[in-house]
Amino acid sequence: MAVSNPPVVPPDTSPDVWRLQMKAIGRRSVADRLKEWEALSRWADQAEEAGVRRRHPGYGDRQVMLAQARMRYGDELVLKVWPVEDLVEP
């Protein structure tokens, strides 16, 4: 019978290691955790942008931004903000 981790523990991490990781994170200051979150968020945004530019090399900056908005927020919300003629493929 396979043993699975609780839902919050990644499947490739043992519960003991996960608890140690959470304790280490808990010892860090809020400011340090926010800086790391900001850096990871910036990295994810840049990776997403690079993916759009790779799929659509002819897109300008505005088209890339609109494609990212569609991926993040969906067409329904984006259509409330930008006219249909501005939309591009994500």
Q: For residue 24, give both structure tokens.
A: 């280490």
How many residues does the structure list for the chain? 90
pLDDT tens, position by position, 25-65: 999 999 999 999 999 999 999 999 999 999 999 999 988 99
The whole-number pLDDT of residue 27 equals: 95
What is the full DSSP assignment across 23-44?
Answer: HHHHHS-HHHHHHHHHHHHHHH
User: Quick check: 70 and 90 in contact, CB under 8 A?
Assistant: yes
pTM (global) more than 0.85 = no
Least Cα distance to 21 among 2, 8, 31 occurs for 8
Alpha carbon separation from 33 to 8, 29, 46 (Å, rounded): 19, 6, 20
Distance (Å, whole) CA 65 – CA 71: 10
Mean pLDDT, rounded, of the chain: 88
The whole-number pLDDT of residue 79 equals: 85
